[in-house]
């Protein structure tokens, strides 16, 4: 990148780069505004390229461990539990296989729904806890814990949570925009939130992106998303990769690598307690 202003040509070591694409530098806002018409097309192209690099990159390996069993947390948000009492996130194995009369982390005694609602509301309003916002949004959306269904309130909480960096809130916003839950249906915004969530590591958001690309017959992009999601432990994506391999959309090399990555992801987060908890929840859902 040149040390000359892209607008006036002035050479200066203190020029500021375009904040979007970083391709060119300017003396200041005036020069940037003047040069905008000439730079706009190249800027948008570069921004899109940078975004796609992030979107199709393998998410960094999660290092977070369950604070109870000290095993790596599952990649699936559905296999973890937010503890309202202390704000800790633990795995389903430790939540469902240990005594439930007290929190396994802070030892707080179990409380009524009304008391839990007061605590989680305080975490939302007083501490701006994004995980608490995401949980409370689910209560309003589904009418849980004695609350009436209020999709508009749920949507507002999801927006706040996503702005504070909650990947699963972006994923839930994607669903809201796709299904019209508390907001008008808008597939462009749904895809945007799925993309942000996928970049942040949500394998279910990435799986949904893959399904959208597949429905649009963009098979190459669909398989890229399916492979990344499967490598993070998404069983549904692995199933679709198997179908993609049979239909010639996935090479043998990519198929074998995805199988290895999927198994490695499952092995490093596996425990007897988590298997028992998953089996119990599956039986309860029948």
Q: Which tokens sit at 195?
A: 């993309």
Q: What is the pLDDT of residues 164-190, one digit of tens each?
A: 999 999 999 999 999 999 999 999 999
What are the DSSP calls for 19-47, one per residue? TTT-S-EESSHHHHHHHHHHHHHHHHHHH
Q: What is the pLDDT of residues 76-105, one digit of tens each?
A: 888 999 999 999 999 999 998 888 889 999
Kindly give, in sequence order, each residue whose CB lies less than 8 Å from that of residue 125, ignoring residues fewer than 6 positions away: none
Contact 174, 193 (CB under 8 A): yes
3-state secondary structure 91-110: EHHHHHHCCCCECCCCCCEC
Q: What is the pLDDT of residues 217-237, one digit of tens each?
A: 999 999 999 999 999 999 999
Range from 12-16, 63-67, 86-90 carrying the lowest mean pLDDT = 12-16
Counting residues of the chain whose pLDDT is more than 90, the rounded percentage is 80
The bridge status of strand 25-26 relative to strand 80-82 is unpaired
The bridge status of strand 16-17 relative to strand 25-26 is antiparallel
Q: What is the pLDDT of residues 128-138, one digit of tens each?
A: 999 999 999 99
Contact 204, 77 (CB under 8 A): yes
Q: Which tokens sit at 58?
A: 């393998």
Place of tokens 């307690």: 273
Burial of 282 (0-12, 13-18, 19+ CB in 10 A): exposed
pTM equals 0.90
State residue 48 phi and psi, 5-degree precision. -65, -40
């Amino acid at each position: 990148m040149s040390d000359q202003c892209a607008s006036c040509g002035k050479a200066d070591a203190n020029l500021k780069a375009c904040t979007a694409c970083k391709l060119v530098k300017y003396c200041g806002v005036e020069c940037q505004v003047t040069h905008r018409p000439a730079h706009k097309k190249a800027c948008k192209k570069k921004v899109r390229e940078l975004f796609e690099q992030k979107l199709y990159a393998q998410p960094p390996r999660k290092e977070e461990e369950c604070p109870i069993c000290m095993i790596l947390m599952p990649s699936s948000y559905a296999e973890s539990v937010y503890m309202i009492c202390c704000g800790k996130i633990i795995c389903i194995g430790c939540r469902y296989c240990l005594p439930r009369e007290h929190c396994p982390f802070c030892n707080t005694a179990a409380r009524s729904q009304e008391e839990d609602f007061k605590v989680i509301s305080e975490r939302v309003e007083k501490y701006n806890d994004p995980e608490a916002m995401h949980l409370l949004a689910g209560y309003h959306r589904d009418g849980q814990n004695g609350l009436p269904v209020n999709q508009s309130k749920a949507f507002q909480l999801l927006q706040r949570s996503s702005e504070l960096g909650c990947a699963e809130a972006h994923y839930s916003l994607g669903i809201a925009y796709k299904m019209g839950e508390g907001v008008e249906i808008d597939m462009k915004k749904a895809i945007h939130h799925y993309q942000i969530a996928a970049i942040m590591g949500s394998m279910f958001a990435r799986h949904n992106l893959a399904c959208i690309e597949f429905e649009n017959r963009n098979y190459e992009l669909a398989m890229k998303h399916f492979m990344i999601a499967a490598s993070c432990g998404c069983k549904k994506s692995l199933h679709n990769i198997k179908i993609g391999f049979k239909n010639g959309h996935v090479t043998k090399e990519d198929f074998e690598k995805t199988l290895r990555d999927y198994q490695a992801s499952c092995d490093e987060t596996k425990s007897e307690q988590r298997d028992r908890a998953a089996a119990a929840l599956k039986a309860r859902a029948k």
